């Protein structure tokens, strides 16, 4: 017979111990989890519906997808993909615990976005199911403890816990003679059982990740099972995980393949291939999925962002706000910078006539609420005079329109040579009606000012309406009316 060394014996006993400790939890985890799945046709096609269902079952092998009107009442979890507003959709998750935040997943979502959403659904549901399992085991142990409590009290009365001395009893033996003492049976009091602590709420799992580079990392966790989704990640040079639920800091770069819910901070690059719900702070920030939050850096790139991009160069798809020198988006609510482009919006020609006897024509382009204009004005009452300028303005409304614009013009006179006469400012307030995407009419009034130049520039404007504000600085002000159209 082969000898079993002490080391092998210890390993064998340790394995057996781990098996018996883990088997109750593992058995509970293998129970089927029922998911009720409802997908609105305006958010996803049948192919996307099937892709989400398959992605959930791939990540949770013991998951079953049910549908139908009464499926929601039978299910452990419900996953509802529905519209959030006119342009966006979201996935709502309902389960036995408090509902987690919605997952942004818009119409015509890519396969990568759908798989990322499935990963988040799997992460949340498995954690809560494990929490329920551990809670069940805790309650079971507590019930056994309560049942054993009367027996323990009875035993403690026979044998005090602090002085477990032997008890003796006096035996009167008539045949053998005088009374003798006989040792009674010693009753040992069993030690109290250790009660397993419940894990943290699924909203606050504690998983600490320390990484030098991807692959060379260490995880410290307080969660029911090992999962590479850190709550706090500290990366010396760089780190890469499936997702993040908390804070990540890296000297050079941070990378997530599925999702980020929290804050990423890096010296050079933050990148998440799926959605971002939180903030990225680095020289360059990249979010590949439909995101909610903020990107702060020199360069920011996002697929769709319901939030703010603040940097020198901002690039996005459907984006809420952009502030920087160069802002490029498919459609944004507000882009504020030197160069702004919404490639999903059209460039509109515009023209109007005002009481100064000049016709202004130009081009308008911009975001949902902020537009930019390039303008050219021609004076009918003064041959050779023209204005070149531009500006920005706020506009709103769908049918009935309202707008306020601020323009700056350079007044020029073309004679024997090109002469610059003055710098003029104009505040233009308008109201109108949009008949179609390519036709709207408007009217309103203007407040005009000559900021700097020579008094001869006033010859191009009605003398009776001019108000001299500061003769020493040639500051003049006058009102005006206008009407026009945009195409």
The residue ranges of DSSP E strands in 87-142, in sequence order, are 89-94, 103-104
Q: For residue 461, give the nearest of 475, 478, 444 by alpha carbon.
A: 478
326-372 pLDDT, tens digit per residue, is 999 998 999 999 999 998 888 999 999 887 767 899 999 988 888 88
Q: Span 249-274, mean pLDDT? A: 92
Specify if 171 maps to a domain: no
State phi, psi for 358 to the nearest 5 degrees: -125, 145
88 and 195 in one domain? yes
220 and 139 in one domain? no
Specify if 445 maps to a domain: yes
Residue 327 is predicted with a pLDDT of 95
Specify if 17 maps to a domain: no
DSSP letter assigned to residue 457: G
> What's the pLDDT band for 221 if we cut at 50, 70, 90?
low
CA angle centred on 285, ends 279 and 289, rounded to 5°: 75
Domain span at residue 298 reads 208-342
Q: In angstroms, rounded to a whole number, what is the distance separating the alpha carbons of residues 263 and 375? A: 43
Query: pTM, whole model, 2 decimals?
Result: 0.60
Q: In angstroms, rounded to a whole number, what is the distance separating the alpha carbons of residues 458 and 382? A: 11
CB 81 within 8 A of CB 52: yes
What are 436's strand-pairing partners?
A: 439
Q: In angstroms, rounded to a whole number, what is the distance separating the alpha carbons of residues 87 and 306? A: 11
CB 182 within 8 A of CB 169: yes
More confident residue, 227 or 374: 374
198 and 289 in one domain? no
419-460 pLDDT, tens digit per residue, is 777 788 889 999 999 998 889 999 999 988 877 666 666 666
61 and 198 in one domain? yes
355 and 285 in one domain? no
More confident residue, 7 or 368: 368
> What's the pLDDT band for 3 if we cut at 50, 70, 90?
very low
Count of H-run helices and E-run strands, the chain: 4, 28
Give the chain's domain count. 3
Residue 113 is predicted with a pLDDT of 81
User: Hunting for tokens 């699924």 — which residue is that?
Assistant: 202
What are 301's strand-pairing partners?
A: 286, 315
Q: Look at residue 460 and give its three-state secondary structure.
A: helix
> What's the pLDDT band for 136 if we cut at 50, 70, 90?
low
pLDDT at 204 over 60: no
Residue 153 is predicted with a pLDDT of 63
363 and 283 in one domain? no
22-34 pLDDT, tens digit per residue, is 444 444 445 678 8
218 and 144 in one domain? no
Q: In angstroms, rounded to a whole number, what is the distance separating the alpha carbons of residues 313 and 172? A: 102
144 and 97 in one domain? yes
479 and 369 in one domain? yes
Specify if 166 maps to a domain: no
Q: Look at residue 203 and give its three-state secondary structure.
A: coil
241 and 311 in one domain? yes
Q: In angstroms, rounded to a whole number, what is the distance separating the alpha carbons of residues 141 and 194? A: 9
Domain stop point among 300, 317, 342: 342
115 and 50 in one domain? yes
280-325 pLDDT, tens digit per residue, is 999 999 998 888 899 999 999 998 899 999 999 999 988 999 999 9
Specify if 468 maps to a domain: yes
Specify if 327 maps to a domain: yes
382-410 pLDDT, tens digit per residue, is 666 788 899 989 988 888 999 999 999 88
Give, for 7, the enclosing helix (H) or strand (E).
helix 6-29
375 and 310 in one domain? no
Q: Span 151-157, mean pLDDT? A: 62
More confident residue, 126 or 351: 351
């Amino acid at each position: 017979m082969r000898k079993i060394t002490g080391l092998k014996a210890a390993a064998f006993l340790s394995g057996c111990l781990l098996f018996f400790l883990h088997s109750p939890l593992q058995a509970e985890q293998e129970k089927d989890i029922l998911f009720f799945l409802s997908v609105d046709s305006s958010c996803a096609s049948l192919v996307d519906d099937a892709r989400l269902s398959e992605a959930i079952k791939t990540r949770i092998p013991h998951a079953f997808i049910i549908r139908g009107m009464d499926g929601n009442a039978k299910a452990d979890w419900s996953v509802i993909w529905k519209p959030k507003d006119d342009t966006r959709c979201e996935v709502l998750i309902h389960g036995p615990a408090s509902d987690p935040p919605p997952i942004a997943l818009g119409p015509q979502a890519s396969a990568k976005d759908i798989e990322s959403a499935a990963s988040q659904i799997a992460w949340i549901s498995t954690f809560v199911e494990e929490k329920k399992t551990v809670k069940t085991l805790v309650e079971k142990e507590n019930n056994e403890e309560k049942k054993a409590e009367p027996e323990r009290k009875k035993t403690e009365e026979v044998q005090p816990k602090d002085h477990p001395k032997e008890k003796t009893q006096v035996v009167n033996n008539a045949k053998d003679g005088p009374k003798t003492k006989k040792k009674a049976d010693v009753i040992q009091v069993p030690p109290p059982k250790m009660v397993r602590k419940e894990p943290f709420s699924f909203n606050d799992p504690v998983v600490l990740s320390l990484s030098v580079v991807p692959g060379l990392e260490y995880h410290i966790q307080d969660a029911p099972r090992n999962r590479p989704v850190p709550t706090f990640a500290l990366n010396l040079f760089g780190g890469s995980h499936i997702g993040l639920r908390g804070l990540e800091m890296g000297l050079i770069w941070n990378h997530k393949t599925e999702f980020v819910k929290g804050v990423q901070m890096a010296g050079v690059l933050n990148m998440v291939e799926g959605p971002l719900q939180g903030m990225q702070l680095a020289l360059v920030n990249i979010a590949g999925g439909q995101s909610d939050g903020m990107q702060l850096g020199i360069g920011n790139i996002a697929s769709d962002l319901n939030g703010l991009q603040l940097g020198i160069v901002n690039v996005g798809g459907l984006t809420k706000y952009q502030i920087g020198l160069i802002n490029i988006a498919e459609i944004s609510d507000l882009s504020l910078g030197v160069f702004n482009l919404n490639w999903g919006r059209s460039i509109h020609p515009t023209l109007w006539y005002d009481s100064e006897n000049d016709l202004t024509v130009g081009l308008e382009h911009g975001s949902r609420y902020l537009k930019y204009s390039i303008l050219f004005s021609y004076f009918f009452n003064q041959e050779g005079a023209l204005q070149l300028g531009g500006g920005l303005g706020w506009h709103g409304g769908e049918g009935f329109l309202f707008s306020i614009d601020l323009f700056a013009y350079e007044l020029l006179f073309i004679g024997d040579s090109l002469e610059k006469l003055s710098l003029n400012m104009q505040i233009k307030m308008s109201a109108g009606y949009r008949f179609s995407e390519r036709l709207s009419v408007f009217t309103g009034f203007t407040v005009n000012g000559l900021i700097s130049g020579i008094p001869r520039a006033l010859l191009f404007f009605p003398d009776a309406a001019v108000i001299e504000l500061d003769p020493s600085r040639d500051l003049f002000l006058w009102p005006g009316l206008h009407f026009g159209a945009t195409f």
